[in-house]
Amino acid sequence: MADAVLIAAQAGRALAEAARRAGLRPYVADLFGDADTLAAAEAYRPLPGRFGTAPAVDATVAALDHLAGAAGRPIGLILGSGFEDAPDLIGRLAARHRLIGASAETVSTLKAPLAFAALCTRLGVPHPAVATDPPPDPRAWLLKRAGGSGGNHIRAATRSPAPQGHYFQQRVPGRPHALNFLADGRTIRILAVTEQWCSPSPIRPFRYAGALARGAGEAPALPVALVDAIAAGTERIVAATGLRGLASADLLVEGSAWWLTEINPRPGATLDILDRRGVPLLRAHIAASLGTMPDPGPHPADAAAAQICYADRELAPVPDLEWPDCVRDRPCPGSVVRRDAPLCTVLAEGADRAEVLALLETHTARLRAVCAAKKTHPEEALS
């Protein structure tokens, strides 16, 4: 029988499907309980809470204890998004289950804004300035929540003091990219450089929308010399913090200049588009977490992208839809999708970047048509 693995995340579907591709049996706890998550999971437990907020500690511990009992002897616990601002919870979970991925100490170091900025300075890694006091010119600064993910927590700075758990980060120019990599605590292996974009809303101007990985035959997203410099800086951070497993480095790039804005010490939102190699990425994640750097195989020939569709009004209840094949994170019929919450994810794969971006538009239009056919008009709720 295939090995069982515990998974906890805000949205666990991508990890659950990646586990199946890796020949594992996923036991999943997340916030949403989407239909395709339930289909992929061997067993499932819901987590209370709201997307973008810290997980409920006792409920998370109880859910994973229950799943571990159902799994028998799982090989370990893989954490997705939502735990970056909860290193104490990570430590508590690691005391109960074998943790596969970044340790609580590593996450704490990487997600403490002042400590991380100081580490970058010491290691010679370009990083925007950070502060806890209100900046003299707020137009040049952003307000962020420590440990936040998905961009929902980022706002324009004001002269007001930062709320508890928040900090200021200086604005820098550039387009968003990410270096996606495997780490073994000492070195890294690059998986891809992905392009990223936002889906702004009036109160969430930097909300994450999607990412694209170019195919092997295309011109690279960034010049090779620039990627080498980014990789070298990232590797210095990995060696200093002992980071292991799948991770990504968020960047802003302007010409030959670049700034590292944060490290995401976990499998991220690009898992769907990166897990197309000879070695399943969750198997590679496990190997790297145990200190053995795997060779995941050659870069995929085709380009791929994933984009989140957000609801701009509440859908209650979600109708019973025939979701197109390109749609993932499908909410169960009768469930509720709150305004500004993720509705679903749209995937596209094609020969090159241009084809993939065109397919994303086509797929989203098809999704709107399916929704309209139900006469629920949630096409207005897609961004």
Contact 151, 206 (CB under 8 A): yes
Contact 81, 269 (CB under 8 A): yes
Look up the pTM and report it: 0.92
Contact 185, 242 (CB under 8 A): yes
Using left for φ > 0, alpha for ψ between -120 and 50, and beta otherwise, residue 19 falls in alpha
Helix (H, G, I), strand (E, B) or coil at 226: helix
Contact 130, 140 (CB under 8 A): no
Full pLDDT tens readout for the chain, 383 residues: 679 999 999 999 999 999 999 999 999 999 999 999 999 999 999 999 877 777 889 999 999 999 999 999 999 999 999 999 899 999 999 999 999 999 999 999 999 999 999 999 999 999 999 999 998 898 999 998 887 776 667 888 888 888 888 999 999 999 999 999 999 999 999 999 999 998 777 777 888 899 999 999 999 999 999 999 999 999 999 999 999 999 999 999 999 999 999 999 999 889 999 999 999 999 999 999 999 999 999 999 999 999 998 876 777 788 888 888 999 999 999 898 887 788 899 999 999 999 999 999 899 888 767 766 664 444 444 44
